[in-house]
Each structure stands twice: as C-alpha cells, then as structure tokens.
Amino acid sequence: MSQERLKRYGVYQIYPISFCDSDGDGKGDIKGILSKLDYLASIGVKNLWISPLYASPMRDMGYDISDYYAINPLFGTMEDFDRLVQEARRRDIRIIMDLVVNHTSSDHPWFQEALRSPESKYREYYIFRHGEKGRRPNNWTSSFGGSAWEPVPGEEDNYYLHLYGKEQPDLNWDNEEVYQEVKKILGFWMEKGVYGFRCDVISEIYKSSFENGRKGKISTPVGMEHFVAQPGCHLILKRLRKEVIEPRGGVLIGELYGVDQPQAEAFLDRELDTLFGFEITDTKGLFRQQMRPSDFKDVLIRWQEGVSCNGNYLENHDQHRSVGKYVQRGRNEVSGAKMLLTLLCALKGVPFFYQGEELGLVDYDRLSPEESHDVVRSFLESLLRRFALPGFLRHRLARKFGRDDARGPMPFSGIDGYGFTLPGRKPWQKFYEISPERNVEREERDPSSVLQYFRKVLSLRQSDDVLSLGTIRFLPSDKEILSFLREYGGERRYALFNLSNRSRKAPVLPGSRRSLILSNIYPAEKNSTLLPYECRLYRIDA
C-alpha cells in the first residue's frame, strides 16, 4: 500500500532554507512551509519530502546533523514541526524526513566524545584507523574532494574516515550500538506521525574492507568497490525495514550513490520502496551541461526496464535544473519543461518533483564564488586555482559540479521579496532574476503556464491506474523519440515524446482506435509531425 501511494501521487521535495521565510531573516522555515500547505495541496502534493530540518552547523546545508532529536532553530521549533505534521495530515499530505546516517556532523556529541577520550565507547561509533609513517590508512578519496581520511587532532598517525566533508565523519555500521541508535531515531520521528525517510547516500553506509581502491574516472571517488552496495548494507536495510518501518506502515526511499542499474533492483527486495540512481544526471563529458537526447533516452529505458520501482527525478538540490540540462534553453523551453513533467508522470515508478520545477525554473548560475554556500563549489574553486586554469574554464567546471544553481529561493510572486521573504529583506541566496516571469502568482493567472500544466498532468497520473501502476513496454522509434505503452487491468495508454529541439516525424501509432488525452502543445497536434519537445498521451481503445 505504501509503495502504491508513492507511485500514484509522487513525491515533492522541499529544500527548507529556500522554500518560504515567515520571519524575514532571509531563510526559509517551518512556519513558511505551513503557510504554503494550501498551495501544495492545490497542485496535488500528497507526499512531501523535506531536506534535513535537524540541528546542524550547516556546513553541508543540514546534511551534517549534530542532534537527530532536535529541530534546527533556524527552521523553528519542535512545536512548529508537530503542527506541520498535523496540518499536512489534515490535507492528506504525508511528511517524509531526510535521514542522514552515513555520517554525523563532527559537532555531534558522539564524535566530540570520541575525540575527547580514546577510551570512550563512542570511538567505536566512528571509523578510526592508524596510518603508517605519515601515510593515510588507504587511498580512498572523499566525494567532496581530497583524501577521505582526516588526521585526529593531537594523535600521531591516527585518522578518521569521512566519505564527504571532513566535518562529516562516517559512522561505523559494524557496531550494533550504531544500529540501535538509528533505530531509535527512526522510531522517534515515526511516533510523531512522520510517514517515512529519504535515506541519504544509504548505499555507502557499510564498509566491507579498508583495502586500497581502484582508480577510475576522476569524477568518482576512489575506494567505492569497498563500500558501495555491500552485502552488509542490504542486511541493515532489511532489518530496519522489518523492525521499524513495516510495523508502522511507513516508507523508505534510498539515495543510491555509486550504484549502477544492475545492482539497483536488489535494494527493492524487502528494503526500500523506491530508489534514486545517479546515471540520469551524467551528461557524459567534463564540460557538457546538456545531455544528448539519445543518451537521455538510453538511460531512461535501462532504468525503466531493469528496476521495478525506480524513483524518477530530473532535478533536486544537488543537481542542475532540468530545463537547460535535458532540454535546451530558449524559444522552446516552456514546451520542454512541460514535456519533462509529462515524462515524469508517464513513467513507471515514483515521480519526484523539486520545488520550482512546477514553474519551469532554470538554473541561477550567476553566483560568484564568494556568494556560494556550497562546500563542493568552494573545494573546486580552490583546486582549479591551483592548476591555473583560465577563468572561463574554471567557471564552467565549478558550475558543472557545484550545487548552488538550483538552491535559490522559491519565487511565489513578483513583488519585492518574491513572496519568499518579507519585502525589503535580503534572502540568504540570490533570487532567480533570470526568469522573473516565472513565479507562482503569475503562473496561476496564465492558463498556458508550466504550473497550470503541471496541475493537469499530475492529476491525470494520480487518477489513472494505468499511468500510476501499469507495466511499461518501449516501442522501437528514432533515437531522439521515446515511445512506450503502459498497461494495467486490460487498459492501455500510449506515450510519445520528442526529446529533441527539432521537428521530427512521429512513429506509426499503435491501435486503430485511440484518443488523445493530453499534449503539451496547444492546440494539440494530431498529425504525423512532432514539434520540438512535443509530447502526447493517448488512450488506446482498440
């Protein structure tokens, strides 16, 4: 049932610091989210995943937790949170928390105690290893750059592991006490009425060995074969699901960093309800911002055919906006934005939407290095400066891998403060001045807007068993056209997508009697030419 709820309704992601600021400090908060629940309900949101709200020094924007039982004062109080859960339920919206348990913040009392006293049991909560004669314990690298081992202050040749920033020490999942702590945390939030968890880099929690890693592509960390998708990780997930999630009818969503498609399905065997892979984000090429339509098609088909309940996403707080990545900016970008939303709603699995995607927002790519808050970007900037790359190349690389561009404040209106913060106040990060015409208020008034279209297509998915629960079968077509059948209970839908920015010939349509249910082009085209980014959904009657 729980998985079915995700498939039917999809999941909307809020990045809390940038969603809505109720008190004018320039940072989004829980009261801000409360004030927008009616908006969320009106666009069809039923499952709401909120990026970390826990107490945190925010060195990685909340993905560094210093207290799993407290709300970050920046975002409000525990009372605000309890109200959010209740008010959301009143609108039939379930809250999904982010859960970050590959690592804690280095400010977490467990880690502080581990550093303070080598004899403490908290040493065993983390991964400490000795190096030899000034050499680190192995050659593993962090996803944020540099070695994954940080010297322990004041202790010769002793290091702790951090697969992310050095302020994010990895937990030791070989320790039963760590498992019990996490189990308690999950139970605490579920008792409050939380529906489930989006588990951060959950594929990496279990380290099977500490041997040196193979060196691969420069964009992937060294050592992954020792800690990605290990048998120990599957055992932990099975246990957590059985002991905490299932008895309460909740859901688990996994972020599977480093996991390729053939490895992914195993995570759905009594572990996760749905998962995200990363192949969909790979534009192939160090400097390439935009994905080729044929590469997009290949990766979509592979994950649809090989994974029974994939989490289908095209953007989030770590990625670039989908307009500009899977479709070209410019004249056809509105059709492109609608096409991508239709795709998410027509595919098998669980559709994920990121705040602002329903407006067709594009990257805000004008932040200077000094205005950035992203640890990845600052690492890259300093690295690239060392290599004395010309400014424009440095900027392109830092932009490609940096994570600021989709993290800007959500524009609810065109007035001063954009309806995000109070008029006259400065938001924590600059607004999307690039597309000032895209904001909720304006799009509500424009019948041809991306927002109005989003409402329509999401409600279509939610009310149609075939689109939300059916099987999928891809039909042969030109390499930049995606064409597939969905089938459920003897009914069929046919979907056709032109992934390219050029007019293309439509393939021969299946079925002799069919009716068009939805198209992103107005008035709907019925002929055999597909306009740039045109998409169509049909019901097949015979």
User: In the complex, what is the shortest distance from the CB of residue 290 to ligand NOJ, in angstroms, rounded to a whole number?
Assistant: 22
Tokens of 116: 């303070």
Nearer to ligand NOJ, 9 or 257 (CB): 257
Cα dihedral across residues 127, 130, 134, 139: positive or negative: negative
- Residue 424 Rama label (left phi>0; alpha psi -120 to 50; beta): left
Find all residues with CB under 8 Å of 219, minimum gap 6, and list them: 286, 401
Nearer to ligand NOJ, 142 or 468 (CB): 142
Contacts of ligand NOJ in 237-266 (CB under 6 A): 255
Tokens of 371: 């205005």
- Beta strands of 355-416 (E only): which ranges? none
Q: Which residue's CB comes closest to ligand NOJ?
A: 63
Q: Could you confirm whether 23 is annotated as catalytic?
A: no
User: In the complex, what is the shortest distance from the CB of residue 198 to ligand NOJ, in angstroms, rounded to a whole number?
Assistant: 9
The owner of tokens 């599977």 is 256
The owner of tokens 């409050």 is 192
Query: Binding ligand NOJ by CB under 6 A: which of 53, 74, 100, 343?
Result: 100
Q: By CB under 6 A, is residue 63 in contact with ligand NOJ?
A: yes
Find all residues with CB under 8 Å of 472, minimum gap 6, and list them: 304, 305, 347, 348, 484, 485, 486
User: In the complex, what is the shortest distance from the CB of residue 146 to ligand NOJ, in angstroms, rounded to a whole number?
Assistant: 15
Q: By CB under 6 A, is residue 107 in contact with ligand NOJ?
A: no
Set 200, 271, 464, 480: catalytic member: 200
Contacts of ligand NOJ in 264-303 (CB under 6 A): none
# chain residues binding ligand NOJ, by CB under 6 A: 9
Contacts of ligand NOJ in 192-231 (CB under 6 A): 200-201
Q: By CB under 6 A, is residue 74 in contact with ligand NOJ?
A: no
**Do 523 and 514 contact (CB within 8 A), yes or no?**
no
- The Cα-based distances of 146 to 139, 172, 376, 382, 383 in angstroms read 10, 21, 11, 12, 10
User: In the complex, what is the shortest distance from the CB of residue 100 to ligand NOJ, in angstroms, rounded to a whole number?
Assistant: 5
Q: By CB under 6 A, is residue 60 in contact with ligand NOJ?
A: yes
Using alpha carbons, select from 520, 521, 522, 519 the residue that is nearest to residue 537.
519
Q: By CB under 6 A, is residue 128 in contact with ligand NOJ?
A: no
Nearer to ligand NOJ, 192 or 373 (CB): 373
Find all residues with CB under 8 Å of 226, minimum gap 6, and list them: 140, 207, 208, 209, 210, 211, 213
Angle between helices 231-240 and 176-191 (to 10 degrees): 40
Nearer to ligand NOJ, 157 or 318 (CB): 318
Bridging pattern class, strands 54-55 and 67-71: antiparallel
- Residue 320 Rama label (left phi>0; alpha psi -120 to 50; beta): beta
Structural element, H or E, at residue 198: strand 196-199
User: In the complex, what is the shortest distance from the CB of residue 518 to ligand NOJ, in angstroms, rounded to a whole number?
Assistant: 32
User: In the complex, what is the shortest distance from the CB of residue 281 to ligand NOJ, in angstroms, rounded to a whole number?
Assistant: 12
Query: Binding ligand NOJ by CB under 6 A: which of 318, 365, 441, 491?
Result: 318
Q: By CB under 6 A, is residue 14 in contact with ligand NOJ?
A: no
**Do 291 and 278 contact (CB within 8 A), yes or no?**
no
User: In the complex, what is the shortest distance from the CB of residue 180 to ligand NOJ, in angstroms, rounded to a whole number?
Assistant: 22
Residue 294: other Cβ atoms inside 10 A: 13
Return phi, psi of residue 329, to 5°.
-65, 155
Nearer to ligand NOJ, 48 or 201 (CB): 201
Query: Binding ligand NOJ by CB under 6 A: which of 159, 160, 164, 418?
Result: 164
User: In the complex, what is the shortest distance from the CB of residue 403 to ligand NOJ, in angstroms, rounded to a whole number?
Assistant: 7
Nearer to ligand NOJ, 104 or 342 (CB): 104
Q: Could you confirm whether 225 is annotated as catalytic?
A: no
Nearer to ligand NOJ, 407 or 493 (CB): 407
Set 21, 60, 255, 464: catalytic member: 255
Nearer to ligand NOJ, 166 or 461 (CB): 166
- The Cα-based distances of 482 to 54, 67, 380, 523 in angstroms read 41, 46, 36, 21
Site string for ligand NOJ, 19-58 (x = CB under 6 A): ----------------------------------------
Residues at the site binding ligand NOJ, with contacts judged by CB under 6 A: 60, 63, 100, 164, 200-201, 255, 317-318
Which residues are tagged catalytic?
Answer: 200, 255
